[in-house]
Chains A and B, each alone.
Chain A
């Protein structure tokens, strides 16, 4: 039997529905050309960020990828600001300079939004190194896709983190496709966990479509990292229901495969689980949906109403003034 109570279950489901509906709205806004550039949706993978984030503390750090809307929301960045960033407005999370792929928050210790595959891993290593050198009780959690495992920076970072026993949790969101390349077509060993274990790292493969399983794995891993036992690794098997980006015609996988995974969808499945075991009622879920709808409507209004940064400000934020660094 699950130890997850009614309120925690409600929070998990709420977060996943919140991310799902937010991104569905983003897809709509993209079609309406309100959001431009590259946009990568997390739809189908919500259980990973929703399961991991509650296991972190406010003063821990998060490093994510260009598919990070869900992580930003789950980490507690205000939805208004995330939506405004999607628009490129000055009141966005990154002042509008980053857009969909580069959401940041110093206040939430959310270090982006990195659009170079595996490029965030060395940064996570450095964040954790600083915490270790300063004897701070803090953990850095680094998310990336399975495509990163083919990059040298992945292997360099695994080695550095393990060699120096750094307080970092690596969370691989294995959705089976690096853009359009299936894992088996790009890796001689398709277990990403095995790649980490080579460096002596302790890890666990979890069902990334099961928010409670992800949360349980994250709690265990983070407790270990926090106790000074060095880095941990989680490989969360998941699947994205949408194409890689809004430009992707999705020709490299079958509709049947997508449908099969949708039946295991994290929202669909968890909704059924909590209804079946009585932790939540249809009315509870309706209330979540209406809360989320109101939050999203407010976020869209906020982004729409917000002003553009004047073009005269173009060259701001390139260099900090001396005496300006913390």
Chain B
């Protein structure tokens, strides 16, 4: 094994940004407060001084405008990274992402491609209430023409950016706000790029499959640890990429465990979790020994007080209960 180092998810993103800027002069970062402020979540701190204001480009509060500008620049030979402060603000850029980034290749009969990377923070946990805390990843994953990735680990936060930049299609990187301070292992040196095609089995197990992504992977692993203490071996899958979905890894696991629990911070109704459940039903129904269960966000806009916010999103004990329910224990 090569050597590793422990850094935070935020530092991993910053390193990835710096490396991308150094490797390819066509890369630039554009978004609200990415420069002088250093990034709302400090991901780009110090980069303005290193790369200058042309390439670490502070944009006015114009999500649609600068996201569209990113599309135009991508069409014209650049490799822009657009940072949108939170997924709730990205709703202001939905027109550009859905009507342009996702469609231009198709509408032009394959003549134009949009090699754009968009990064945004998502999710609850920082007591930021109902306009900064939602998990709308599924909205973007719904759209053909977009790719959506959600790094759950520091290594993925470090490695996914370069892979996304090398992809000729628009790739959206969903960064959960609660992960920025988390520490994890990254390769000490060499090529840190990772694939963005496959889900990962983060913990092998035989009794049930827990399918999660983003911050819920850690909660699923915590639940699996508790379950192991009770003699239940849960397998934990980190989806990593929400579009395209890696069906194979999911179905291989379900064929082994015969039970599945899907964890998603988003609401159940018409949510991303429903898609995973439907795919398991379509592709592995006869492997199941129990209905696929879901642990999801409660159907409420995310509230401000800590206890209510935590009550609104999945917790490890709920995952434990769901796995036990599937096992009738």
Q: Please list the residues of chain A having a beta carbon within 8 angstroms of any beta carbon in chain B.
A: 61, 92-98, 102, 104-106, 111-114, 116, 119, 121-131, 133-134, 140, 152-153, 156-157, 159-160, 163, 316-326
| Complex-state Cα separation, A122 to B72, whole angstroms | 7
Q: If A160-B60, A318-B145 touch, does A123 touch B75 (CB 8 Å cutoff)?
A: yes
Query: 8 tightest CB-CB pairs across the interface, nearest first?
Result: A126-B72, A122-B68, A95-B109, A156-B65, A325-B168, A130-B76, A104-B108, A126-B69
Once A and B bind, how many residue pairs between them come within 8 Å at the CB atom?
155
Knowing A133-B28, A319-B169, the reply to whether A325 touches B113 (Cβ < 8 A) is: yes
- Are B76's CB and A119's CB within 8 A? no
Is B100 in contact with A106, judged by CB distance below 8 angstroms? no
Seen from chain B, the residues whose Cβ lies within 8 Å of a Cβ on chain A are 28, 54-55, 59-60, 62, 64-78, 80, 95-96, 99-100, 104-113, 115, 144-145, 147, 166-169
B77 touching A326, Cβ below 8 Å: yes
Given A116-B95, A130-B78, A163-B60, A123 and B66 touching (CB < 8 A)? no
Distance of A275 from chain B, by nearest CB (Å): 41
B106 touches A160 (CB 8 A): no
Q: Is the CB of B168 within 8 A of A322?
A: yes
Q: Please determine whether B95 and A316 come into contact, CB atoms closer than 8 angstroms.
A: no
Q: Which residue of A lies closest to B77 (CB)?
A: A130
25 A-B pairs within 8 Å (CB atoms) are namely A61-B76, A95-B109, A95-B110, A97-B107, A97-B109, A104-B109, A111-B112, A122-B67, A123-B96, A125-B72, A126-B69, A126-B74, A129-B73, A129-B78, A131-B76, A133-B54, A134-B78, A153-B68, A156-B62, A160-B60, A163-B60, A317-B109, A320-B105, A320-B168, A325-B113
| Set of chain A residues within 8 Å of B145, measured between Cβ atoms | 318-319
Closest to B69 in A: A126
Nearest to B168 among chain A residues (CB) is A325
Q: How far is the CB of B125 from chain A (nearest CB, A)?
A: 31
Known: A156-B65, A159-B62, A160-B60. A112 touches B72 (CB 8 A): no
Residues of B close to A159: CB separation below 8 A: 60, 62, 65
